[in-house]
Structure 1
Amino acid sequence: MLNLVLFGPPGAGKGTQSEKLIEKYQLVHLSTGDILRSEISNGTALGLEAKKLMDQGVLVPDEVVIGMISNKLDANKDARGFIFDGFPRTVAQAEALDSLLTSKSSAISGMIALVVEPVELEKRLLLRGKDSGRPDDANPEIIRKRISEYNSKTAPVANYYKDQNKLTSINGIGSIDEIFSSICAVMDTY
């Protein structure tokens, strides 16, 4: 089973590249952001709490996210593999994900990190905010807070996978197809 962590700061292009990877490699997309937004749109108690935290640019608690991931894995037992998009966001989540996958006789195949400079990220997110209806993409102050949260809490996850020889960094600047080609070159080695 191929399990990929697609990694990078908000606005790096993870969602765009995930769509292309899903189509080419027939993997199941596990985006914690999408899962949480679904909970929000359905008005669940979890969704309302998550919305409050997300609107402030704060991360949702680990145990909630791990539980949602476990449910998605169980619901897709026959999948060829999974793309983890926006997860894990902390080293503790990476450790919990490894434990969860081990309990299901699986493991992370590799992490591909999209590298994009903060100025470009803010520009991309503001542009996306015009069309997405997401308040966290429309406010420069919240965007900067999200990028800061990423740098302080999430970026260290790359070292966790680097220590396992599972990290490959890809330049996230360029055309969608150029970036995809670089990702596929790595994917084909798994």
Structure 2
Amino acid sequence: MINIFLLGLPGAGKGTVSEQIVDKYHLTHISTGDMFREAMANETKVGLEAKSYIDKGDLVPDEVTAKLVEERLGQPDINEGYILDGFPRTIVQAELFEDIAKRMNKQLTNVISLEVKEETLIRRLSARFMCKKCGATYNKITKMPKVKETCDRCGSHDFYQREDDKPEVVQNRLKVNEKMNAPLKDFYQKKGLLTVVDGEQTPEEVFKNVDAVLSKKQ
């Protein structure tokens, strides 16, 4: 079984490589954002607990987020393995997750960090745009819709750029995220789980390197 945590700053290419990993290894992609939305929509016990904080505009406590991850890991589609995206974000969360994964016998096998220079990230993020209807993400440099001005996923013609993808905001986002990522890289390096992959390469080359790491685990 392969269980992966993907690390990387916004724009590093985590979404693209996640799709490629899922296609080849049939892992389940676990996004904390999707988990929150699903648990709240289904009104699970933990989902309602998380909603009570979100509705007040408060941050969801680490323990509640961890319970939500535990709930998700217990679902049957995780049996082939998973890719974790968006959690853990801090050392406290990493330690909480380690306890959960050990208890459920679903420990991480790999932590992969995609490393990309700041100027490349700024260029990539500033070129990113999204479908207003379904949220599909595109990029003027690397991933335009197959049919001009038409979303590949839903056929909509309505696109927009997120406020936090505008160049003046991007630099600050990167600094905040780097501050969060650095301790996590150290944490997993010490555990012998971390592999650094050069994210400056083409998506095909990035996946080739990631694939070389994962294929050793099979």
Distance 1:173 1:33, change over 3 A: farther
Q: Does 1:66 align with 2:71?
A: no
**Which whole-Å CA distance do the structure 1 matches of 2:52 and 2:20 have between them?**
28
Asked if residue 49 in structure 1 is aligned to residue 54 in structure 2, the reply is yes
Offset of residue 41 of structure 1: 9.5
Cα distance in 2 between the residues matched to 1:122 and 1:70: 34
User: C-alpha displacement at 1:69, in angstroms?
Assistant: 1.4
Aligned residues: 183
| CA drift at 1:135 | 2.8
Instruction: Measure, in 2, the Cα distance between the counterparts of 1:156 and 1:136.
Output: 27
CA contact (8 A) 1:4 1:110 kept: yes
Instruction: Indicate the SS of the match to 1:12.
Output: coil
Say if 1:3 and 1:110, in contact at 8 Å, map to a contact too. yes
1:176 aligns with 2:196: no
Match of 2:113, SS state, is strand
Mark the runs of 5 or more structure 1 residues left unpaired by the alignment.
54-58
Decide which moves more: 102-111 or 59-68. 59-68
Give per-residue Cα distances to partners, 1:20-40, cap 9 Å, x unaligned: 101101100012244356689
Alignment correspondent of 1:155: 182
Tell me if 1:86 matches 2:82.
no
Q: Write the letter of the residue equivalent to 1:186.
A: V
Bigger-Rg structure (1/2): 2
Q: How do 1:6-155 and structure 2 match up within 5 A?
A: 6-36=6-36, 46=51, 49=54, 61-76=61-76, 79-129=79-129, 131=131, 132=137, 133=160, 135-155=162-182
Letter paired with 2:65: V
How many percent identity over aligned positions? 34
Distance in 1 (CA, whole Å) between partners of 2:109 and 2:21 is 15
Matched position secondary structure for 2:128: helix
SS at match of 2:74: helix
Q: In 1, Cα distance between the equivalents of 2:64 and 2:116?
A: 29
The answer (yes or no) to whether the contact 2:27–2:81 under 8 Å persists in 1 is: yes
| Superposed CA offset, 1:109-148 (max 9, x none) | 0111100111211221222235545635433344223211
Q: Structure 1 residues 64 and 182 mapped into 2: Cα distance closer, same or farther (>3 Å)?
A: same
TM-score (norm 2): 0.72
Q: Whose RCO is larger (CA < 8 A, sep 6+)?
A: 1
2:193 — aligned with what?
A: 166
Q: Mark the CA change 1:118 to 1:66 in structure 2 (over 3 Å): closer, same or farther.
A: same
Residues 38 and 47 of structure 1 are in contact (CA less than 8 Å); yes or no, is this contact kept in structure 2? no
